[in-house]
Amino acid sequence: EAQVTQNPRYLITVTGKKLTVTCSQNMNHEYMSWYRQDPGLGLRQIYYSMNVEVTDKGDVPEGYKVSRKEKRNFPLILESPSPNQTSLYFCASSTRPGLYNEQFFGPGTRLTVL
């Protein structure tokens, strides 16, 4: 089944404790992206990747890192999480960058930083 998977689905952590949220897609998509969803704000892009070893900032990149060493994986790293990063995070992928292509979303990761 074609899908985007994220792990963990739920995470509660404390301020300053490094964490990684994994994202993997099995559709051989070149483009991958991370969004965060906050009430009243919709989804906002954190980082995106056009292909392996190519990443760039989205609208809200502060406090996050990403890497794209393999085509299928695009982990999101919070090196020193803070409470304002409590949010619902979505990974998405698409066949190639650009406006024409549907983005497929993962199920989301709900992160709480205490």
Partner 1 sequence: AQSVTQPDIHITVSEGASLELRCNYSYGATPYLFWYVQSPGQGLQLLLKYFSGDTLVQGIKGFEAEFKRSQSSFNLRKPSVHWSDAAEYFCAVGDGNKLVFGAGTILRVKS
Residues that bind partner 1 (CB under 8 A): 4, 31, 33, 35, 40-45, 48, 50, 56, 58-59, 90, 92, 97-100, 102-103, 105-108
Smaller CB distance to partner 1: residue 34 or 78?
34
* Residue 5 buriedness (CB in 10 A; 0-12 / 13-18 / 19+): middle
CA distance 91 to 46: 10
In the DSSP assignment, the letter for residue 59 is S
Smaller CB distance to partner 1: residue 3 or 80?
3
CA distance 47 to 108: 15
Smaller CB distance to partner 1: residue 17 or 96?
96
- Least distance (Å) between residue 107 CB and partner 1: 5
